[in-house]
Structure 1
Amino acid sequence: MTLDAPAAEPAARGRLVTPTFVLITVAALGYFTALGMHLPVLPRYVEDELGGSGLAVGVAVGAFAVSAALVRPAVGRLGDTVGRRPLAVVGGTIAAVSIAGYGLVASLPVLVGFRLLTGLGEAAFFVGVATAVQDLAPDDRRGEAASFFSTSIYGGLAIGPFLGEVLYRNGGAGRVWLVSAALAGVGAAVALLIPGHLGRAVPQTLVEGDVVPAAEAPRRRFLHPAAVMPGTILLLGLMGFAAFGSFLAIHLDDLGIDDAGPYFLLYGASVLVMRIVGARVPDRFGAVRTTTLSLLAIAVGCLTIAAVDAAAAIAVGTLVFSVGMSLLFPALFGLTVNTAPASERSHAVGTFSLFFDLSQGVGAPVLGIVVDLAGSDRAAFVTAAAIALGGLVMARIRLPRPGAAR
C-alpha cells in the first residue's frame, strides 16, 4: 500500500474536534450554504423564467451531479497523491466561477452547461474536505466525525434555502447566483488553510514487503470496492432528497403555499440538530440498524408529504424525513472509510460520494419523467418512498452485520 505522510496528531491522541477540524467545517459551511441557496430557486427559475417542464427542472437540478459523478473516482485517486487541500481550493474556485455564470444567458442549455461545470468543482471540493476530516479522526470515531462534519452540509441546507428565498423575492435569481458564487469563493479561500500534508503520499509503494517505485504499483480499480455497496444503498435512500430538493417548492406552489423557505429551513435545522445530538448513533448501533431506521423514516416522510395537503402535515412529514436523512450518510460513510485502507481513503470517499451524485444526476431527471407521466408532483415522493424501502431490504441483506466492519 502507499506510504502516506504521518498521521495527523488529533487522530493519534484521540481528539476529534480540534481547531483544524473546525476550520475545515467552516470552509464547507460557506460552500454548502452556496449550494443550498439553489434548492428553492433553481426549480422556479427553470419553470417560470425559462419555461421548462418537469423533466427540464430535473435535468437542470441534477446536471451538476452528472459531471461530478463522472470524475469522483479519479478525483479521489488524485487526492491520495497531491493531498486534500488542492482539491478543496481548486474545486471551490471552479464552483464559484461557474455559479456566477448561471444568469448570464437566459437559456436552459447554457444553464445546464454551467451546472455541469459546477459539478466538476463540487466533486473536488467535497472529496478534499470530507477526506481531510476523516484523516483527522480516530479510527473508532469515524461515524461521529462524519456526523459533526455534516453539520456544515446541513447547516448550509438550513441557511442556504432560506437566504436564497429571501434574495429571490427581493432581487430575483441574478442576485441569488451572485451571492451564492461569493459564498463558494469564501469556502475555497478558507480551504487554503487546510494542512498541506493531509493525504499527500510518499512516491513509493510497499508491495509484499518490498519498496518499489509508485509507477510499478498495482493499478487501482475505477471504483473502490469498499464503497460500492454502501454507496448503492445511499443512492437509493437519497432518491428521497432528489424528490424533496427538486419538487417540494413546486408541490407547495400547487397547494397554494407560496413560501418553501420555512420547510427547507425545518429540514436543514432538524438534520443539523440530529447530527449533533445523535453523532454517536452510527458508531454505537452499527451501520445496519442505523441505515434501516434511516430508510424507513425517509419512506414514511415522503409518503406523508405526498398524501396530506395540510401545511402542518407536510411539516411533520419533513421532520420525519429529516431524521432519516440525518443518520443515513454518517452510518454508510463511516462504514466505507473504516473498510478502506488508509492509503486509499480518498479513493473510497470519491467512489462513495459518486453515488450521491447519481442520486441527483439520475434521480432528479427520472423523477421528473415520473412527474410528467403522472401529471402530479406527488408521484416523485411516492416513487422515492418505494425506492427507499427497496434500499432497506438491500441493507438488511448485503451490509456487514454488527460486529463486522463498521
Structure 2
Amino acid sequence: MTTKNKIASIALTPTATDKHFTRVITAIIISVFAIYLTIGMTLGVLPGFVKSDLKSGNLVVGLVIGLQSLATLLTRAYAGKITDTIGARTSTHRGISMVMLCGLLYITAAGWGGNPSLALGLLLLSRIVHGISESMAVTGTLTWGIGLLGAQKSGKVMTWNGIAMYAGIAIGAPLAIWMKNTIGITYVFAAILLLSAISWLATIRLPDLPVDAAHIRTPFYKVVGLIAGQGLGLAFSSIGFACISSFISLLFAARSWGDPSMAFITFGACYVLTRIFCSSFPDKYGGYKVALVSLTVQVAGQLLIAFSSSRIMAILGCSLTGIGFSLIFPALGVLVVKKVAPQMRGTALGAYAAFFDLSLGLAGPIAGIIAGRFNYEAVYLFGAISCLLAISVLFIYKNK
C-alpha cells in the first residue's frame, strides 16, 4: 500500500480522533466560509451596482442575482460526477479556482462601468461562473469531509458546513456594503481574490480521498430516484425559509409593525445556535427522528406567523422556524449518505442539494401568487402545509 493510500485509509477509519476531526472540520469550515463570503458580498453590492451604475431595471437586477442559483442547480450533477470520478480535492479546488476567475470578471466589469452593455455582459458571465463554482466547491467539500471523517459523522460535517455557508452570506452582504461605501466597489471584488486564496490554503494539507476508477457509476436519474424521498422532504421543508426571506418584511409593513430586522436576526440566530449545540443529533438519534421533530417545530413556527396578532408573535414564529429548519439538511442528508456507495456519494449529495435549489427557485413565485390572491398571512399557511407535506413524504419513504 502506498503512503498516500495509507493516509487515506487512516483518515477513513470510523475511529478518527477528536484531534483529527477538529483539524478536518476546521479546514472545511474556513474554506466554505470564505467561498460563501464571496457570495454574500456580491449579493450585497450587485443590485445597487446594476440599478444605479449600469442604469438597468428591476428585471435585469433579478436576472443578474438569480443567474447564479440557476447555474448552481444545473451543474449539481456535473459537480457530483467530477467529485466521484476525479476526486473531492479536485472538485473543491476547481470550484475555488473558478471563484478566483469570478473575482477577475467582477473587477473588469466594474472597470467598464462607463460601458453598461459590456459591463452587464461580463456580470452575467461572472454570475454563471460563480454558480458553477459554488456547485463544485460545496459538493467537493461535503464529500471530502464525510470521506475523511467517516459516514458515521456525516451529520456533523453537514451541520458545520451549513453554519459556514449561512454565516458567510449573512456577514458578506453588510461587509461588502460597508466596503463599497468606504473604499469603493472595486475593492469588494478584489477581496474575492483574497478569499479564494484563503479557501484554497485552508484545505491544501488535507489528505486526498481514493477514487475507485473501476466502479460502475449509477446514472444520475437513478440516483435522483434513489434519494427522492429525502430530496422531496428537503424541498418541502425549505419553503418556510423561503417565505420568511421573501415576505416577512412585507408582512411587517402591512401590519405597521416597524423594522423587520429582528425577525431576520432571531431566525438566523436560532438557526445557527441550533446547529452549534445540536450538531451531533442526526448522527446520535438518526436522521429520520430528528427530521420529524424539526418539521413539527417548523410547522408550529409557520402557523404562529400566519395567525400572529402582534410583532412579538411573528418574531417568535421566525425563531421557531429557524430552530426547525436548522437540522433538516443534515438530518435527511445522513439518510442520503447511507443509501449510496461511497463511490457515488458526491453524485448523491449533488442531487440532494439540487432539490433545495429547485425549492427556493419555485417557492418565491408561488408564495407571491398566494400573497397577491389572498394576503401575506396566507403565505405562512402555505409554508406550514409544505412542512406537513414533508412529514407525509418521510412517512411514505420511511422504508424505501
Measured against the shorter chain, the TM-score band is 0.7 to 0.9
Deviations 1:158-205 (A, max 9, x none): 43355456567x46994796377357524543355153622x414334
Is residue 276 of structure 2 the alignment partner of residue 276 of structure 1? yes
| 1:25 positional shift | 1.2
Partner of 2:347: 347
Is residue 208 of structure 2 the alignment partner of residue 197 of structure 1? yes
Partner of 1:384: 383
Contact 1:144 1:279 in 2 (8 A): yes
What SS does the corresponding residue of 1:295 show, helix, strand or coil? helix
Partner of 1:399: 398
| 1:132 positional shift | 0.9
Distance 2:139 2:40 in 1: 18
Contact 2:38 2:172 in 1 (8 A): yes
Distance 1:194 1:400 in 2: 40
Partner of 1:338: 338
| 1:8 positional shift | 4.8
Matches within 5 A, 1:256-405: 262-308=262-308, 310-371=310-371, 373-374=372-373, 378-400=377-399
Contact 1:143 1:279 in 2 (8 A): yes
Contact 1:266 1:318 in 2 (8 A): yes
| 1:254 positional shift | 5.7
Distance 2:381 2:178 in 1: 30
Partner of 2:154: 142
**Sequence identity percentage:** 23
Distance 2:189 2:305 in 1: 32
Q: Compare 243-252 and 17-26 and name the one that shifted more.
A: 243-252
Q: Which has the higher contact order (CA 8 A, sep 6+)?
A: 1
1:79 counterpart letter in structure 2: T
Q: Compare 264-273 and 42-51 and name the one that shifted more.
A: 42-51
Deviations 1:377-403 (A, max 9, x none): 5554442332222112111222349xx
Contact 1:72 1:123 in 2 (8 A): yes
Matches within 5 A, 1:230-245: 230-245=230-245
Partner of 1:208: none
1:77 to 78, 81, 84: 81
Q: How high is the TM-score relative to the length of structure 2?
A: 0.79
What SS does the corresponding residue of 1:18 show, helix, strand or coil? helix
Distance 2:183 2:258 in 1: 15
Distance 1:22 1:190 in 2: 12
| 1:98 positional shift | 3.8
Partner of 1:127: 139
Distance 1:129 1:282 in 2: 19
Q: Flag structure 2 segments of 5+ consecutive residues without an equivalent.
A: none
Structure 2 vs 1, CA of residues 71 and 87 (structure 1 numbering), >3 Å: closer, same or farther?
Answer: same
1:52 counterpart letter in structure 2: N
Higher helix share: 2
Contact 1:93 1:188 in 2 (8 A): no
Q: What is the root-mean-square deviation of aligned Cα atoms in Å? A: 3.8
Contact 1:43 1:250 in 2 (8 A): no
Deviations 1:79-130 (A, max 9, x none): 1122112222222343454476387559999866644432211111110111
Q: Flag structure 1 segments of 5+ consecutive residues without an equivalent.
A: 206-216, 402-406
Partner of 2:30: 26
2:391 counterpart letter in structure 1: L
Q: How high is the TM-score relative to the length of structure 1?
A: 0.78
1:15 counterpart letter in structure 2: T
Structure 2 vs 1, CA of residues 164 and 392 (structure 1 numbering), >3 Å: closer, same or farther?
Answer: farther
Distance 2:42 2:255 in 1: 21
What SS does the corresponding residue of 2:267 show, helix, strand or coil? helix
Structure 2 vs 1, CA of residues 68 and 275 (structure 1 numbering), >3 Å: closer, same or farther?
Answer: same
